[in-house]
Amino acid sequence: MKVVLDPVHGYIELDEIVQELLATPQVQRLRRIRQLGFSNLVYPGANHTRFEHSLGTMHLASMLMKNLDSIEKDKKVEIRAASLLHDVGHGPFSHVTENVIDKYTRRRHDDVMDIVRKGEIKEVLKKHGISPGNLAKHIKGETSLGQILSSEIDVDRMDYLVRDSHYTGVAFGVVDYNRLINQMSFYEDRLVIDYGGLKAAESLLVSRFWMNTSVYYHHVTRISEAMCSKAVEYMIENGELDPKRLRQMDDIDLIAAMRNSSGHGGELSRRLDARKLYKRALYTGLEEAGKGVLKYRDKIERAEKEIAELAGVGQECVLVDIPKTPEMLEMKAMIKTDHKMIPLKDASHFVSILQEAHMDNWRIGVYSPKEHCEAVGKAAKEYFNIKKATKQFKLNDLEKYKAEE
């Protein structure tokens, strides 16, 4: 047994199978994939990697399983391996390239079967009697025990929220994961939270809310990620990049390929290198845009082309970013009381209002070089039929106004 020192969890124990999996090139690649993509353009400390997160997730899974006597020893080994490998399918810059990879290869980051059934990982799993098929199902949350890694509230979320908060310095909420883990158990084949862990579950959702607002959906992060994603698509369409190879690359590989691109991908790469990012030509919420704007999520390229034509600029000067509507899966986690099982959103009135708050933070973005922002913004408002919101005064607004008089 060896140990490594982690800045978030302290000492993490590494048994034989973990050490052998860590030594594989597929896991070592994760050292060169940033956890938060381009968030370091906003938070300079956000340079942590998928490798660290994978170790942390394995550590928390091990902590949880120590409290679950019903899990057989060989199954605990399986889950430790699955938790360490759960992100081995990520492409460069993590989620930045995920949609592009999915578009061209039909594989998401948790589709790892093709990775774990061959090469060095397969040999380690075979040595320890672990089925690659079972392991891949655990990672996708398709088994009962897989809920530990992939469910409404799982060890994956616990680690990345605590870790991302640590490295960005955004410490609005503290996730009491020790309490949460100690209050989790299996009941009727489902991973549930005992009522004593309700406040800890609330702390996780609060942290998730603030991290979404301040980090994951920060406008600079969204712009830089949209620029990188567009550069990669240009390179694939122009035959400069093989999408199957993309999934095996790390951040360094992709940066080198982008810098060597002779087309618009190269131009976007140079902008990212120099932090000369596109600006917000349009950036507004659902109240102004209306839910009808969501139908354009599957027609992004067409929207970019038609907005560019309206604005009288080249299509490369328009990036449309329409996120999916926020969904807090954690609210569906089950709380076990003395008499019944109830969803977290019903067990906590505080939690029930967070979904609406998430919707308030949703934004559609249309980005463009600074010199074209005015024309592109005007065209985007016309194209998406953006209406200026009518200000609705609330009672607390009136009280604040009177106080300022």
- Each residue's pLDDT tens digit, 371-394: 999 999 999 999 999 977 544 444
Q: What is the DSSP string of 52-112?
A: HHHHHHHHHHHHHHHT-TTS-HHHHHHHHHHHHHTTTT--TTGGGTHHHHHHHH---TT--
- Provide the pLDDT for residue 126: 97
- Provide the pLDDT for residue 374: 97
- Provide the pLDDT for residue 402: 44
pLDDT at position 270 over 50: yes
pLDDT at position 89 over 80: yes
- Provide the pLDDT for residue 401: 41
- The answer to whether the pTM exceeds 0.95 is no
- Provide the pLDDT for residue 172: 67
Q: Quick one: how far is CA 303 from the chain centroid?
A: 25
- Provide the pLDDT for residue 230: 96
Element at 186 (helix H, strand E):
strand 184-187
Q: Is 106 left (phi over 0), alpha (psi -120 to 50) or beta?
A: left
Q: How far apart are CA 1 and CA 24, in angstroms?
A: 18
Q: 41-52, pLDDT tens digit by residue?
A: 999 999 999 999
Q: Which of 2-16, 122-136, 285-299 is predicted with the least confidence, judged by mean pLDDT?
A: 285-299
| CATH 1.10.3210.10 correct for 2-218 | yes
The mean per-residue pLDDT over the stretch 26-45 comes to 97
Spell out the domain ranges in the chain. 2-218, 278-325+362-405
Q: Is 136:116 a contact under the CB 8 Å cutoff?
A: yes
Rg of the chain taking only CA atoms, in angstroms: 23
Q: 192-245, pLDDT tens digit by residue?
A: 999 999 999 998 988 888 898 899 999 999 999 999 999 999 999 999 999 999
Token duo for residue 23? 């030594």
Confidence class of residue 251 from pLDDT cuts 50, 70 and 90? very high
The mean per-residue pLDDT over the stretch 316-340 comes to 88
Which residue type sits at 199? Answer: K
pLDDT at position 70 over 90: no
Token duo for residue 276? 């000369």
Percent of the chain with pLDDT over 90: 79
- Mean of per-residue pLDDT scores for the chain: 92
Q: Is 163:53 a contact under the CB 8 Å cutoff?
A: yes
